[in-house]
């Protein structure tokens, strides 16, 4: 009985295409070299600056100068929600920064879209009576969102380039 079970499992897994994400890909080039060839287009606004810097570091953290073969375009939408209000003062006691990112990876040689999708980040912070503390807390929320979004996009771009 156990031999039959092992044979069935071996047969079922023989068609499995699971492979290491950071292993060699089709042309025997490591995925890291493919990621270094991704140029990130400028993204407007402060949150765009944060996301772009995180993506550049995540894709090409080595600082090597590789000629770009791919172009990554990102469009961001940011909104702030204040779900909790103080019943005495009527002021918001917390806020949530929500950033949605639509991205598109394009092959520069033939302008074909390799992958596209949506990533998002949600970061909450406490609000205080001090205005400067609120501004700084909101920026920290934006930075946390930028890191989450860049991680999501990097993983999805890696998956697309590994195919």
Q: What's 104's domain CATH number?
A: 3.30.160.150
Q: Using H for helix, E for strand and C for coil, what is the string for 59-105? A: HCCCCCCCCCCEEEEEEEEEEEECCCECCCCCCECEEEEEEEEEEEE
pLDDT score at 24? 52
Domain limits for position 85: 2-162
- pTM for this prediction: 0.78
pLDDT per position as a tens digit, 13-41: 665 555 555 555 554 458 888 888 999 99
User: Domain count of the chain?
Assistant: 1
With beta carbons less than 8 A apart as the criterion, state whether 162 and 138 touch: no
pLDDT per position as a tens digit, 117-152: 999 999 999 888 888 999 999 999 999 999 999 999
**160: closest CA among 118, 113, 110, 114?**
114
* C-alpha separations of 43 from 31, 54, 57, 73, 74 in Å: 25, 12, 15, 8, 7
């Amino acid at each position: 009985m156990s031999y039959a079970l092992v044979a069935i499992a071996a047969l079922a897994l023989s068609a499995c295409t699971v492979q290491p994400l950071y292993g060699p890909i089709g042309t025997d080039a490591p995925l890291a070299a493919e990621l270094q060839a991704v140029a990130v287009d400028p993204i407007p606004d402060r949150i765009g600056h944060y996301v772009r810097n995180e993506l550049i570091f995540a894709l090409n953290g080595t600082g090597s100068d590789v000629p770009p073969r791919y172009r990554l375009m990102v469009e961001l939408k940011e909104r702030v929600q204040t779900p909790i209000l103080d019943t005495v003062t009527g002021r918001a006691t917390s806020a949530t920064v929500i950033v949605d990112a639509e991205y598109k990876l394009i092959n520069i040689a033939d302008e074909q879209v390799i992958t596209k999708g949506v990533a998002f980040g949600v970061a909450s912070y406490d609000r205080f009576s001090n205005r400067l503390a609120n501004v700084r807390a909101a920026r920290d929320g934006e930075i946390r969102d930028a890191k989450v979004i860049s991680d999501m996009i990097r993983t999805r771009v890696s998956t697309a380039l590994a195919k």
